[in-house]
Amino acid sequence: MPASWNPEQPEITDLIVRHDPRTLQREPVRKQEVVEIFQKFGNRQAVRAIQELPEWDGMLVDAGVDRMMLAVHWEMQRLAEEFYHGHRVWEIVGATVRALRMNGYLQKIRIVDVGCGIGYTPRWLASRISAQEQGLEFTGVDLYSTLIREATRLAEAERLNCKFSHGDAFSPQLAGNIVISTGVVHHFRGVELEEFLRRHEREETQAFFHFDFQPSLLAPVGSWFFHQLRMRTAIARHDGVLSAARAHTAKTLVEAARKGAPGFASGMYGTRIWNTPLPRVFHTLVGLRRPLVEEFRAQLGRRAGRLGELQ
């Protein structure tokens, strides 16, 4: 196994942008510190990618990192487009919205994309679904202010009815009725994963859907091939493959959800392609308030077979 596929190490993007956990303000990052972390893992690919980043007096230059991260996120959006991610999200979020309405939930439903990056999912939803007619609010939250500024710029450029906020997605002002994320949960390891899911236990939150890579023997190889073809930046190529290697199994996700967020019935959605043994690239951790489960299953219609056991 190449050193860059070792799931024990963090991703480059986890380290080159750092925020104060309390104030969420950006903190300076010493380049050599990041390099040394990957040197310990013998990961020369990561070291080379970090060396390319601009530095000033040993510290990474924020604007240089931001520019690179923007390029990476534009590339990542291409993958989301190729995988029709917006359609996949609405497939289950739409069923949840209908289930909530059928259960008599009449208030505005706020859908929050946690760790939204440049906000592809909320923007896609806003471009296809009439938020006003359906009484919905599409929002995205991220700790990285540069990406939030870009998400806002893009939404304004296309006059899309969605909002983006820099901050904590589980804070009282920003928390949602339906919480979604894409490629985020594998960044939380061990107790952090449980803690992340525990934070969904808010009265207003009715459901959560976390989309992430599904681990399999072939996942890192397939991911490597695809990222070589489709991504141009060294960091995207590195982190994309490492994400697939670090992805949590369905068992880990479900166990963490049942332990961390016991107020929800949780399970997996879309793990296999058309009931064959073939794994999907992405699987989804699902959490629903128990009174919603039956109606949600009914609203999924012919896709209900993709939903695993919820408990």
Partner 1 sequence: MTLLLLYLLALLDGVLCGLRTAMGRNARISKRWYYLRATVRGLVGAQIASTIALGALLLVALITPNSGALRMDLEESAGRMLRIFLPYAVLVLGSLSLRAIPSTDIRSASSVMFLGPLTAIRPLVMIAGVGYGIWGSRLWETRVLGLIILALMLSLEFALNRWMGRMQAKQIAKLIPIGAQSGKPVKP
Torsion angle in degrees (nearest 10) through CA of 245, 247, 249, 254: 170
* Residue 158 contacts partner 1 per CB under 8 A: yes
* Residue 202 contacts partner 1 per CB under 8 A: no
Rounded to the nearest 5°, which phi and psi values hold at 137? -135, 120
| Whole-number Å distance between alpha carbons of 241 and 262 | 32
Given candidates 145, 161, 252, 271, which one binds partner 1 under the rule CB under 8 A?
145
Q: Nearest-CA neighbor of 36 among 15, 17, 65? A: 15
Q: Considering the complex, what minimum distance in angstroms separates the CB of residue 42 from partner 1?
A: 28
What is each CA distance from 233 to 50, 89, 124, 229, in whole angstroms?
11, 27, 24, 11
Given candidates 23, 107, 132, 275, which one binds partner 1 under the rule CB under 8 A?
23
Q: Which amino acid is at 43?
A: N
The region of 41-49, 94-102, 160-168, 258-266 touching partner 1 under the rule CB under 8 A is 160-168
* Residue 212 contacts partner 1 per CB under 8 A: no
Q: How many residues bind partner 1 (CB under 8 A)?
A: 59
Residues numbered 62-81 forming contacts with partner 1, rule: CB under 8 A: 62-63, 66-67, 70-71, 73-75, 77-78
Q: Which amino acid is at 39?
A: Q
Given candidates 92, 100, 118, 292, which one binds partner 1 under the rule CB under 8 A?
118
Q: Tell me the residue length of the chain.
A: 311
* Residue 26 contacts partner 1 per CB under 8 A: yes
The region of 94-102, 141-149, 245-253, 260-268 touching partner 1 under the rule CB under 8 A is 141-149
